[in-house]
Amino acid sequence: MTKPKVGILSMQRVINYGSFLQAYALRELLRKNGAGNISFIDIIPGRPLVCGEQTKAVWRRYIEKIILLVKEGNIISGLKDFYFNRKLDWSIRKSWPILELDKPKDTTFDSVVIGSDEVFNCCQESLWGYSTQLFGDKSKIQSKRVFSYAGSFGYTTLKDLHKYSVAEEIAYNLNNLKAISVRDENSKNIILKLTGKKALLHLDPVLIYGYKKEIGSMAERPIRGKYMIVYTYQGRLKDLDEISVIKCYAARHNYKLVSIMCRYNWCDTAILPSNPIDVLRFFKFAECIVTDTFHGTIFSIITHSRFATFVRPSNINKLHFLLISLGLEKHEVNRADALYSILDIEDNFEKIEGILNGYREETISYLRNNISE
């Protein structure tokens, strides 16, 4: 029997490690559960609902940034950040062949999976704007069956969708999906109000796939001595109290402060792993991790590391539900001085893996049912 051709419509070309690893994980889960040829589908851009830095011409962004750095007296630090970000961009792009993004793609499919990641977050600034394709627009997806898996609206709300007059069009396209799966309660509630349908809740592919084989084969420490990781986006850690407690915790335990995917002058060093999967090696051997990102939290969980997650207004919808799902809400940092006690928590990862295995069974059943008749 011929295995179905499956397309993945996601954010695999976004320059961060989480987007890469969730794309890789979803592909591997599909391969193990009945899919034949698998191709990633690039997003067809739509109109921007939110205009900001990314909608400006590249040259204009650079000039404005340089002027600001000169005014602030941060030109040297800014240039170092720019150089680091260029190297980060290059290091992830050179790994795209792992996802086979360089190979010819199928254009018609038996099934298309929309997700994972914030594919429904149309009210964030992005290079593709509001793309109806991401909500299942039949005119832009050539497939017999289209369904979502662990998609998210991120910080987009139903009020935002009405504000930008896209709620009805989104509801129409979502109603044409064979099945709808999301990864947080906010997204589930929006789907219900838009369509009257109860979306299923599933965990991110990185948690479901688990990378157990890959992590298990990582035997060599990437850094000599004890170190802790700061994992966030460039420039997002600005609060002086947060920075102070991170530095104090590292000094108290004589840990080297290592930043990954970002560069900060107050860290000892900024690291670029050899490829996105190698990020997990740095997490595995770290003494602890401080993050304010969704996937930074997930990397900590699957490598069985001590961690603390700063919860922000922009990430509370997805992060709070993620942590509650696994009984790990005690890792949320809502005030800076709580970091000390949270980073000392020793989790029962055998129990956590047991919870994850239940979610894994649900995911496997869902994917198998939706990629074939």
The per-residue pLDDT for range 26-46, each reduced to its tens digit, is 999 999 999 999 999 999 999
Torsion of CA 19, 20, 24, 26, to 10 degrees: 10
Average pLDDT, the chain: 92
For 67-103, write each residue's pLDDT tens digit.
665 566 577 777 888 889 999 999 999 999 999 998 8
For 207-248, write each residue's pLDDT tens digit.
999 999 999 999 999 999 999 999 999 989 999 999 999 999
Q: Which domains does the chain have, with CATH numbers?
A: 6-51+97-208+358-371 (3.40.50), 216-355 (3.40.50.2000)
Answer whether 45's CB lies under 8 Å from 127's CB. yes
CA 9/CA 99 separation, integer angstroms: 13
Of residues 72 and 359, which shows the higher confidence score?
Answer: 359
Q: Which residues are within 8 A (CB) of 225 and not within 5 positions of it... i.e. 6 or more apart?
A: 256
Specify the pLDDT at position 53.
47
Specify the pLDDT at position 50.
78
Mean pLDDT of 349-364: 96
Answer whether 260's CB lies under 8 Å from 268's CB. no
Rounded to whole angstroms, what are the CA distances from 219 to 186, 198, 204, 228, 281?
39, 44, 26, 18, 8
Angle of helix 316-325 relative to helix 294-302, nearest 10 degrees, comes to 20
Specify the pLDDT at position 63.
67
CA 112/CA 303 separation, integer angstroms: 30
CA 230/CA 296 separation, integer angstroms: 9
**What's the pTM value of the predicted model, to 2 decimals?**
0.92
